[in-house]
Structure 1
Amino acid sequence: MAAIIYTVIKEFFVEIHGHPVKARILSPINDDKNFSFQVNSYFKNSSEQEANVPASTFTSYANAERHLLGYLEAFQNTMDLGGDVAPGVNF
């Protein structure tokens, strides 16, 4: 399998309930129609066992950014309601 090299387009740094969260939007080099985002920590609902892991790709930077900001808002809301950070997850 060939390696895919990504370029980081934008990085966000936020703190959510004392947890430093780094997020970034990436796109493969030489592909301006494929965007994804990653976060260094994932969140868990108090009612669900699995971490909420983003696993989507987008066809525009604006969509990727909008979904990333929505993810960070959901992260904040989950912490507010008693959720937790999933252990052992990083980029």
Structure 2
Amino acid sequence: KAGQRIGMRYIGKLTTGKVFDKNVSGKPFNFLLGRGEVIKGWDIGVAGMKVGGERKLTIPPALAYGKRGAPPDIPKNATLVFDIKLVTMK
């Protein structure tokens, strides 16, 4: 639900397969769901998940970093692919 603090594990890749970011060990990546703390594709894609759930999110540029990208790792107009696992929810 919107407003819940979510803890995630993830691997983020470009459609070429190049990994640009990951969180697979240590402290999970935390954010408040539905509050704009992450790219829109994550707020949409994580909604409805349960602890232990896993998904593959393919996020178009309009729901990610769009025309500006996130230099140097994410080019402009990039579609992003995330393998995610929800590990905590408060």
Judge same fold: TM > 0.5, yes or no: no
Structure with higher helix content: 1
Q: Which has the higher Rg, Structure 1 or Structure 2? A: 1
Q: Determine which structure has greater relative contact order: mean sequence separation of CA pairs < 8 Å that are 6+ residues apart, divided by chain length.
A: 2
TM-score w.r.t. the length of structure 2 is 0.28
